[in-house]
Amino acid sequence: METILVLHGPNLNLLGTRQVDVYGLTTLAAIDDSLRELAAELGVEVDCHQSNHEGELLDRLHAARATHAGVLFNFGAYTHTSIALGDALRAIPLPAVEVHLSNVHAREAFRAHSHTASAAVGVVTGFGADSYSLGLRALIGYLRRTDG
């Protein structure tokens, strides 16, 4: 069974209590649980991890190239600052989808630029917790279209 690596970046461990007007009330644990349920329906597994440390996210990406079929990621603020994460995504031969809970283009100007989006096959932004399920469905669809 294919496994998708799901990476959550800094401060996402505070979902449900952090800026609920922007990020909503859904917790990270609830997002991961719903991704596991959806993955089972789609015939895949998800391997979910959150870190506030850029190096740990990089290490997980590097390790995933031998064990995972794709990557679903929300690097939070690192999206807008980390050239290293963008480079790591380009260095591994896995399709990836970037997701964001909020519509980053409707917020501060600096959030409109992503150092990682150009390394992804697509981006889902602005649908709250649903961004993750939409992103997972899109990634699985992409994998199935390109495997055959």
Amino acid identity at 103: N
- From the list 6, 105, 18, the residue with the least C-alpha distance to 50 is 6
Calculate mean pLDDT across residues 116-130. Answer: 94
84 phi, psi to nearest 5 deg:
-60, -40
pLDDT digits 0-9 by tens, 83-100: 999 999 999 999 999 999
pLDDT at site 107: 64
Element (H, E) at 42: helix 28-42
What rounded mean pLDDT belongs to the chain? 91
Q: 23 and 64 in contact (C-beta within 8 Å)? A: no
Residues forming the active site: 23, 100
Q: What CATH number does the domain containing 58 carry?
A: 3.40.50.9100
Q: Is the per-residue pLDDT at 147 higher than 80?
A: no
Q: How many domains does the chain have?
A: 1
Q: At 148, is the pLDDT very low, low, confident or very high (cuts 50, 70, 90)?
A: very low
97 vs 116: CA distance, rounded Å: 10
DSSP three-state, residue 148: coil
Going by C-alpha positions, the residue among 144, 143, 88, 146 that lies closest to residue 115 is: 88
Phi and psi for 47 in degrees, rounded to 5? -120, 100
Is pLDDT at 106 greater than 70 in this prediction? Answer: no
The tens digit of pLDDT for each residue in 28-71 reads 999 999 999 999 999 999 999 999 999 999 999 999 999 999 99
Vertex 112, ends 107 and 116: CA angle to 5°? 135
Domain of 49? 3-147
Could you report the per-residue pLDDT of 9-27, keeping only the tens digit for each? Answer: 999 999 888 777 777 788 9
DSSP letter string, 108-120: -GGGG--SSGGGS
How far apart are alpha carbons 35 and 64 in whole angstroms?
18
Q: Are 90 and 25 in contact (CB under 8 A)?
A: no
